[in-house]
Amino acid sequence: MAIAERERRTHFSLRLEQGLGRLVLADRRIGELFTVEEMQLGLPEVPSRLDMSGGVERFRHQRSRLERFAVYADDHDIGRAARQALRGSVLQDLEIRAIDGDLVALGEVSGDRPAPFVCRLRLEPASVAGERVLLVSVYESRLFGDAALSAPALAAEILRALGLGGRFIGPTAATVDPVDGLLFEVCAELGWKLPERREVRLVEVTCTGGRARFVGARQAPGRMGPRGLGAAIESTSRSRRFLADYEAKTLYASTEALIAEGQIERAIAVYERQLEVHPDQPFLIARLLQLHVTRAGNPAEATALARARLARTPDDLDALCALGVVHARQHQFDQAAEVFGRVADIAERRGDAIEAAQARCAVAAMIADRDPAGAIRALESALTLRRRLPAALRALADLQARTGDWAAALRALADLQARTGDWAAALRTRERLLSREEDPAVRLALLNKLGQLALEQAGDLDAAINYFERALETAAEDVTALQGLAAAQERAGRV
């Protein structure tokens, strides 16, 4: 038998099952990042005569036990928090996407020629010595240009931006117990006593569809390492790469520690000796390429290693990226553009739109000074693959202005401002575009676009009404303008 009480405001339910109470919290936003999908608290002490008059508030300070919880965070919220943490960093325009089981970080490293990058992070639940652990590992880190930091250092910056700065295990991985932190935040906001949680373990972590989701439940403590992870993870090409990367980082933990300490030359020496023993080990090759290309002086080692790898595996993206970076560092920008173009083609064939778009942006950066028109084509190709690329939109607007195509430059600038949420600036830029336009049909389309932006995004009803009325002055029977004007007047209470 179950006795239930529900409150719309707090999204709680209270049940009595076989003499035990169970309090359930659902669909509750906590702080600026997480939403509680479900949290079940067991109440071991429930009086025989259950007094419901106090509602769920009656159980706020009662001893309880965490049975199950599920929380999630949308990737745009994760990205916003990461950008705030990176203020003043060399990383700019950072975006975080939860897709295909990974968190994907993309953006640019600032410099004379900004270097686009892509990092892939895998989040996996594990237990070490009976302790709850969430493993966060950057298993791919690629730079498409000459940057001020190495790929492992880039991975470390991304982990710091995610709040994992004090929890590193090597330069590109970290572990954290998210259960306590999430519970502290939930209970602090609700004023609840912390539940007992020693037997709670993470049982599922997913990153897909724009959402990172964490599920925990009571279960017996266990011990999980790389093999345990391998048994628990669905086998895909990316998961296999993650596992191989994690096992290698575990095996070479002392050498990875040298990288974290900045002892790059010692780390290179160790990895070169290991490569003599294991000449085709992908992790060793990728890590050596990443370290060699950031060394000052002669890039011959990186070039030789990259070409040797490409002779055996022509589509190896790590080797191609290293070769492109070497060309860029030597100011051989046409050769660098050609290499990054190959990277984009390979990534596009594999269905990786993010990596392909970033590589196209790198092509544009390499040839912008010599061939602005070609750079514009590369950026437009990148934006076809992925529309939300603020750096590409900014570069496109700049190049179009340099080539005298002011209308295209203003369109790109307005698109950039809209995608970064600066709707007032987007409206002003489109107004400038409108003032330059003489074609009645184009003016009508621009006025309707301005009206929609003011109505749906900027929330400026007076401006929306003005734009739609101006559109109707151009075409009195335009359906879009009539519908927009009616909607704006209704929201403004003028109907």
DSSP 196: B
Q: Per-residue pLDDT tens for 182-236?
A: 888 888 877 778 888 888 888 899 999 999 999 999 875 554 554 455 545 566 7
Question: Is the pTM here over 0.85, yes or no?
Answer: no
As annotated, the residues of the chain forming the CATH 1.25.40.10 domain(s) are 331-418, 421-495
Find out if CATH 1.20.120.160 is the number for domain 331-418. no
pLDDT value at residue 376: 81
Residue 18 in this model has a pLDDT that exceeds 70: no
What's at 495, amino acid-wise? V
Please list the residues that pair with 117 across neighbouring strands: 107, 143
Residue 67 in this model has a pLDDT that exceeds 50: yes
The mean per-residue pLDDT over the stretch 379-392 comes to 81
Class of 421-495 in CATH:
mainly alpha
Identify the residue with better confidence: 415 or 172: 172
Q: Which residue has the tokens 């160790």?
A: 270
Roughly what angle, to the nearest 10 degrees, separates helices 317-329 and 300-312? 150
Mean pLDDT for all residues in the chain: 82
Write out the two tokens for 348: 């596009």
3-state secondary structure of 60: coil
Q: How many CB atoms lie within 10 A of CB 277?
A: 8
